[in-house]
Amino acid sequence: MGKKLLLIFTKNPQLGKVKTRLAKTIGDEKALLIFHKLIDKTALVVDGVDAHKSLYYSDFIDDQDIWEGRVRNKKIQEGNSLGERMANAFKIGFNCGYNQIVVIGTDLWNLDAQIINKAFFTLRNVDGVIGPATDGGYYLLGLSRWIPSVFHEKRWGTSRVFKDTVADFKNNTLAYLETKNDIDYFEDLETIPELLKFLDQ
């Protein structure tokens, strides 16, 4: 079966510090509102995932958040780059005896538990699984063994992240999930009527 760990990477919901690219169009307060809605949705999705769960905050641990009682523990991301922070979280997981580890963020409205559970199921037979994002990054990455190169020498936040990460699996087996769109710009938001409606409140 394997010992499964879901890593949830999120930013602390602070005005002016989240969804900054989206905020350029709709303002900081509405960007924060959208961020909260994305977190709420992700938390509900995670409830349907059969795995141990660790939440990794960007800045500080919030004990009065929506994740209370939903995750096994809360930690602070450690490292200078996103790659370092994810690598450290994966290393902790593998050192604790987990052999199927998946990381997600909280930027996806159309993520569902079925996709995350599928990622874990797929990791029974492959070294890695990846969910491509339409912007050239990825919304999910899973490993069944430690492959440090996938976290290093990436230009995070650019359209090359997915391609460069896939290239690091050249000596390992990799499976692909369906492509999804995370919410970074207003154009992304416009494709999701359920989220757009919150701007009118």
CA angle 18, 20, 156 (to 5 degrees): 90
Dist. CA 195–CA 72, nearest whole Å: 29
Identify the helix (H) or strand (E) that includes residue 132. strand 128-132
**Mean pLDDT of all residues in 37-63:** 96
Q: What is the pLDDT of residues 50-61, one digit of tens each?
A: 999 999 999 999
**Mean pLDDT of all residues in 107-116:** 95
Give the max Cα distance, the chain: 51
Percent share of the chain, pLDDT over 70: 99
The total domain count for the chain is 1
Tell me the average pLDDT of the chain. 94
Q: What is the pTM of this model?
A: 0.96
Cβ-contact 119, 142 below 8 angstroms:
yes
**Domain range for residue 140?**
4-200
5 has pLDDT over 60: yes
Given this model, what pLDDT does residue 201 score?
Answer: 67
Instruction: Compute φ and ψ for 140, nearest 5 degrees.
Output: -150, 140
CATH code for position 143: 3.90.550.10
Given this model, what pLDDT does residue 199 score?
Answer: 87
2 has pLDDT over 80: no
**Mean pLDDT of all residues in 135-148:** 96
Given this model, what pLDDT does residue 156 score?
Answer: 87
85 has pLDDT over 80: yes
Per DSSP, the residues of 31-93 read HHHHHHHHHHHHHHHHHT--SEEEEEESS---TTSTTTTTSSEEEE--SSSHHHHHHHHHHHH
pLDDT band at 200 (very low <50, low <70, confident <90, very high): confident
1 has pLDDT over 60: no
Given this model, what pLDDT does residue 16 score?
Answer: 95
Given this model, what pLDDT does residue 180 score?
Answer: 95
Q: What is the pLDDT of residues 87-103, one digit of tens each?
A: 999 999 999 999 999 99
